[in-house]
Amino acid sequence: MDLEIDKAVVKRHSVRQYQNREIEKSLVDRLNSYIDEINRESGLTFELVLNEPKAFTGPLAHYGKFENCFNYIIIKGPSGREEDVGYYGEKIVIFAQQIGLNTCWVALTYSKGKLGLKLKKGEKFYLLISIGYGRHRGLPRKSKPMEKLCTAKGEMPDWFKNGMDFAMRAPTAINQQKFMITLLENGEVSAKSFVAPCHKIDLGIVKYHFELGAKLPIKWK
Ligand SMILES: Cc1cc2nc3c(=O)[nH]c(=O)nc-3n(C[C@H](O)[C@H](O)[C@H](O)COP(=O)(O)O)c2cc1C
């Protein structure tokens, strides 16, 4: 049975060491049909690559402590879509966790030259998500305290606190957490990120987590 979405958010940690086994066909089919749905919804191109060991065997992957990483999701699309890359990519990450797979967002620690990328005119390559059966579940890591990541005029309602709890669990590049979420007087919510590597992708990831935690349709300002 699939893990409930809230539990998947709590249990997700980046996993870089995988078991040496292929992802079973039923899960590949489910992943691919979810990816098709996300591609239609987002206008981006997420592409599952299976049993391809080269991208994660070079020095950068070694430095990043990747092991047995043979499967990954390539993310491409029009330029300027960083926030959507994060938002929709994290939907796939959480779905993967629900069906028993582990993941890691990867912007740097792999061999880009080994991807054999074919880009259409006007298409940009963004980054990868590694995926497979983890050798372990990953480890909880430190987060900045909530008060360093959000502000609110007056009392913070529970839905906002719950949104923040999930936002703090969002993966960000090098765990930088360079974002600020603000509850405005009119009930709208704004989210901003500050210049840092991949900060716009991080912001999309954070927004998806916040929405899952708040359990309300958020009017992003
Ligand atoms: C946009 C983005 C890029 C990342 N790039 C890399 C990477 O190149 N190599 C790596 O080992 N981890 C990478 N990570 C994983 C982060 O280091 C990890 O998410 C962060 O330390 C928080 O840990 P957690 O995912 O276990 O919560 C990346 C994460 C994000 C969101």
Residue 138 C-alpha to ligand 1 middle, in angstroms? 12
What are the C-alpha distances in Å from 93 to residues 44, 62, 102, 142?
15, 22, 8, 20
Reported residue count of the chain is 221
The residue whose CA has the least distance to atom 13 of ligand 1 is 106
CA 139 to centroid of ligand 1, rounded, Å: 12
Q: Which atom of ligand 1 is nearest to the CA of 172?
A: 31
Could you identify the atom of ligand 1 that is nearest to the CA of residue 140?
26
Q: Amino acid letter at 98? A: Q
**Boundaries of every domain in the chain:** 5-132, 146-214
pLDDT of residue 63: 86
Distance, CA of 90 to CA of 59 (rounded, Å): 27
Put simply, whether the predicted model's pTM sits higher than 0.85 gets the answer: yes
Question: What is the domain class of 5-132 according to CATH?
Answer: alpha beta
Give the number of the atom of ligand 1 that is nearest the alpha carbon of residue 205: 31
Q: What is the pLDDT of residue 154?
A: 83
- For residue 105, how far is its CA from the centre of ligand 1 (angstroms)? 5
pLDDT in tens, the chain (221 residues): 999 999 999 999 999 999 999 999 999 999 999 999 999 999 999 999 999 999 999 999 898 999 999 999 999 999 999 999 999 999 999 999 999 999 999 999 999 999 989 999 999 999 999 999 999 999 999 999 999 999 998 889 999 999 999 999 999 999 999 999 999 998 899 999 999 999 999 999 999 999 999 999 998 98
pLDDT score, position 153:
84
Q: Whose CA is nearest to atom 31 of ligand 1?
A: 172
Report whether residue 136 contacts ligand 1, using a CB cutoff of 6 Å.
no
Give the residue whose CA is nearest to atom 10 of ligand 1: 106
| pLDDT value for 74 | 98
pLDDT of residue 219: 87
